[in-house]
Amino acid sequence: MWHRPPSLARPSVSLTCRTGRIGLPHVAGTQLRLRGSGRRSASRVMADANSGAVDSRNGPTMLMWLRQDLRTHDNPALHAAFKAATAKQGRVALVYVWSPEEDTSEVNPAPGGAMRVWYHNALAALDAKLKHTYGAGACIIYRHGPYNEALLQVAVSLGARSIYANRRYEPTMAQTDARVTRQLKQSGVFVETFEGFLLHEPQQIAIDMTKWVGHFGTLTPFSLAVSKLPPPPKPLPSPPHLPTHPLPPSSAAGGVALEQLGLARMPRCPDGSQIDWSKGIKDAWDFGEDAALELLACFVSSKLRQYETKRQLADARAVSRLSPYLHSGELSVRRMYHTMAQANARQISKTAWRRVLWRDLAYWQLHHWPALIRDPVRTHYSAQRWTDTATRGGRGAAWLKAWQLGRTGFPLVDAGMRELWATGWMQQSVRMVCAAFLTEYLNIHWREGAEWFHDTLVDADLAINAMMWQNAGKSGIDQWNFVMNPLSNAQDPDGNYTRRWVPELAALPTKYVHCPWEAPAKVLADCNVTLGASYPHRIITDLRAARADNSAAIAEAKRAAAGQWADAGGYDLIVVPKGASTTYDGTRMRIFTKREWRIRPNGELAAAETTTSGSGEKSGRAGGGSVAGATTG
Ligand SMILES: Cc1cc2nc3c(=O)[nH]c(=O)nc-3n(C[C@H](O)[C@H](O)[C@H](O)COP(=O)(O)OP(=O)(O)OC[C@H]3O[C@@H](n4cnc5c(N)ncnc54)[C@H](O)[C@@H]3O)c2cc1C
């Protein structure tokens, strides 16, 4: 398959975010009004509902409020709505309200462009499945927000007093849900919420640091804390049938067509033609819970056995590719957990088993550091010197643009960034190579990378993205203790992944595909490669010096604050949020700190720098692997 390089694929939106919304917080006002109805009192609204204005002869309607749970299997809220409707001879109706402004704040960016496209298609798939399985009356009612107004109107029109929803954990979303629940309650409509998005809710987990099993906030002590909780509940089956309204309730409830929500609206060129940047995403993925369950079955039956040895490969042959389905809730993480447990995943691949827990760890971090996407967990790292990317025409802005477009001149980085743009996804090790290239070699702020990933990933997840970018930028709890060398061919030993996404280099022999600048002139000519023309020159050439500069920038920030934020061993200190640990609430605690930044309160380095890159940085040669530290599993 041939893919156009991104620079050709997106002529007029080349460097704007797909939504144009990132970094522009829109917090909705809290005063919500019923549009077109003036200030009708809540009691009047409910009186209308009960006066026979709607057909509620067969018992009340139970309203299922869909959000990040676009599935029928193991959907606790849907299950409860089904049970209540069955018991009361009522009906179930499903509603999806699009109101991103209410969920957005400075620390909770609006959904990115790729994720909106994903949601559009996931909703369409669920709608089709619901109608096919349960009849036409099971269609989803789509509404624009505000939530309170939309839900109240739907409730009134269908005679519903109960709304069922699965909980959301992003900070602004959780606040919005609490507010909407209060507002609806005042109108006589009750929202009942359920666990269904995580294996364990973050507030249940407090890390016990009295016995040392690993640094605070890393996976080992976290999983020990989790192991003391009851295992995640067994997944629920899909409702066998849904007692729905005989006719599609959408028009009665003021619903609009899915397209009208505008989730997948594409930009237009000046000549009126449409730029469909979502085509690559739609070509690369099947949407819906059936597709997710098929991928899960394939993962446990075949890929899992290769996970331990081949998970680092860029072509994703050994990983599940389930992340976008988990984020949209097309796949229940509890279903994944129990399916993996049944397949003995823990014995087959310890790493795969731990990966699923990483997701909960990210939500635990987000719970305790709600500004994770903006503020360094190691607060003193906020003074770090970064490359200036704001000056138009400056070197930093050009570097950032080259990284985003996949035109850095480093083939593996470019391949990853182009795959990301085209399909909305990258395998984990490639994400790490690209993230490390931006932060460690270009010394560009991790927030720039997080923002770009948020807009372009179909699995863009506030908690995981923020945690991983903070770790890549070294200000996170688990700062990376390894080097992800852009010249390493560990992720793509045969070069075929790079050839696929960087077709300009497709004809090069494997020996040169990751380092075309080393190829003799004749080889380049024979392969139709002209560096600087058909493929860009490297934007930096001295990798070792570049990384040393980033390391020095971190050391400067550390040294300036070491009196307050370093312990005697030079380890960084953080204030432990209340409830995060069983014993250290509100006090300072040391967290893992890479040797080269163990700077004592007196400003001296605690230990000589011993980290080796093992990566061919000096020679500039490809072939070196990444040095994995203890914090990668
Ligand atoms: C800079 C950076 C940004 C990232 N941003 C995101 C993001 O926005 N959304 C996202 O889902 N993942 C993110 N990841 C984590 C990881 O790359 C993806 O979860 C993984 O590649 C998804 O592929 P998979 O489903 O095949 O994973 P598998 O390897 O099959 O793992 C199964 C599941 O475990 C979970 N998981 C795996 N690795 C991690 C991890 N490091 N942290 C938390 N959960 C994990 C995911 O839910 C994943 O689907 C990011 C990684 C990096 C380095």
Check pLDDT > 80 for residue 173. Answer: yes
Given a contact cutoff of 8 angstroms between Cβ atoms, the answer to whether 118 and 324 are in contact is: yes
597 has binding-site annotation: no
Report the topology of domain 6-200+231-261.
Rossmann fold (3.40.50)
The pLDDT of residue 608: 56
Residue ranges in 369-461 assigned as alpha helix (H):
395-405, 411-423, 428-436, 446-456
- What's the gap in Å between 265 CA and the centre of ligand 1? 27
10 Å Cβ neighbour count for 381?
A: 24
Angle at 265 between CA 260 and CA 268, to 5 degrees: 130
| Ligand 1 site, residue 264, Cβ cutoff 6 A | no
d(CA 157, CA 161): 11
Tokens encoding 589: 């605690």
Confidence of residue 7 (pLDDT cuts 50, 70, 90): very low
Using N-to-C axis directions, what is the helix angle for 395-405 and 411-423, rounded to 10°?
60
d(CA 235, CA 488): 41
Strand 588-590 with 91-98, pairing = unpaired
d(CA 559, CA 569): 13
Tokens encoding 414: 């470019």
Highest averaged pLDDT of the listed ranges 390-394, 481-485, 617-621: 390-394
Instruction: Specify the ligand 1 atom closest to the Cα of 457.
Output: 8
To the nearest whole number, what is the mean pLDDT of the chain? 88
| Ligand 1 site, residue 433, Cβ cutoff 6 A | no
Instruction: Specify the ligand 1 atom closest to the Cα of 327.
Output: 11
Q: Which of 200, 365, 468 to mutate to test the pocket of ligand 1 (most atoms within 8 A of CB)?
A: 468
Q: What is the ipTM of this complex?
A: 0.99
d(CA 145, CA 136): 24
Tell me the pLDDT tens digit for each residue of 99-156: 999 999 999 999 999 999 999 999 999 999 999 999 999 999 999 999 999 999 999 9
d(CA 104, CA 107): 8
Confidence of residue 55 (pLDDT cuts 50, 70, 90): very low
Check pLDDT > 80 for residue 286. Answer: yes
Tell me the pLDDT tens digit for each residue of 485-510: 999 889 999 999 999 999 999 999 99
Nearest C-alpha to atom 29 of ligand 1 is from which residue? 319
Confidence of residue 33 (pLDDT cuts 50, 70, 90): very low
353 has binding-site annotation: yes
The pLDDT of residue 577: 92
| Ligand 1 site, residue 359, Cβ cutoff 6 A | yes
Tell me the pLDDT tens digit for each residue of 350-404: 999 999 999 999 999 999 999 999 999 999 999 999 999 999 999 999 999 999 9
The pLDDT of residue 211: 86
Confidence of residue 607 (pLDDT cuts 50, 70, 90): low
| Ligand 1 site, residue 435, Cβ cutoff 6 A | yes
Check pLDDT > 50 for residue 16. Answer: no
- One-letter amino acid of 99: S
Tell me the pLDDT tens digit for each residue of 270-280: 999 999 999 99
Nearest C-alpha to atom 35 of ligand 1 is from which residue? 356
Q: Which helix (DSSP H) or strand (DSSP E) does residue 6 occupy?
A: helix 6-9
Check pLDDT > 90 for residue 82. Answer: yes
Tell me the pLDDT tens digit for each residue of 299-326: 999 999 999 999 999 999 999 999 999 9
Instruction: Specify the ligand 1 atom closest to the Cα of 449.
Output: 1
CA distances (Å), origin 540, targets 390, 409, 536, 543, 547: 19, 9, 11, 7, 11
* Residues in Cβ contact with 567 at an 8 Å cutoff, skipping those fewer than 6 apart: 573, 590, 601
Average pLDDT of span 571-583: 93
Check pLDDT > 90 for residue 470. Answer: yes
Given a contact cutoff of 8 angstroms between Cβ atoms, the answer to whether 121 and 282 are in contact is: yes
Categorise residue 608: left if φ over 0, alpha if ψ from -120 to 50, beta otherwise: beta
Check pLDDT > 70 for residue 472. Answer: yes
| Ligand 1 site, residue 431, Cβ cutoff 6 A | yes
Given CA atoms 236, 237, 238, 240 in this order, what sign does their dihedral have?
negative
| Ligand 1 site, residue 491, Cβ cutoff 6 A | no
Given a contact cutoff of 8 angstroms between Cβ atoms, the answer to whether 300 and 352 are in contact is: no
Tell me the pLDDT tens digit for each residue of 410-441: 999 999 999 999 999 999 999 999 999 999 99
Comparing CA positions, the residue from 168, 141, 166 lying closest to residue 155 is: 141
Per CATH, is 380-543 categorized as 1.10.579.10? yes
d(CA 624, CA 485): 8
d(CA 588, CA 571): 11
Q: Which of 428, 453, 474 to mutate to test the pocket of ligand 1 (most atoms within 8 A of CB)?
A: 428
Strand 91-98 with 61-65, pairing = parallel
Check pLDDT > 90 for residue 56. Answer: no
CA distances (Å), origin 481, targets 132, 289, 608, 612: 50, 37, 15, 10
Could you tell me the residue ranges of all domains in the chain? 6-200+231-261, 380-543
Cis peptide, bond prior to residue 146, ω within 30 of zero: yes
| Ligand 1 site, residue 321, Cβ cutoff 6 A | yes
Check pLDDT > 80 for residue 209. Answer: yes
> Between residues 212 and 521, which one has the greater pLDDT?
521
Check pLDDT > 50 for residue 457. Answer: yes
10 Å Cβ neighbour count for 390?
A: 8
Per-residue DSSP letter, 139 = P
| Ligand 1 site, residue 461, Cβ cutoff 6 A | yes
* Residues in Cβ contact with 52 at an 8 Å cutoff, skipping those fewer than 6 apart: none
The pLDDT of residue 251: 78
Using N-to-C axis directions, what is the helix angle for 428-436 and 462-472, rounded to 10°?
50
d(CA 168, CA 531): 49
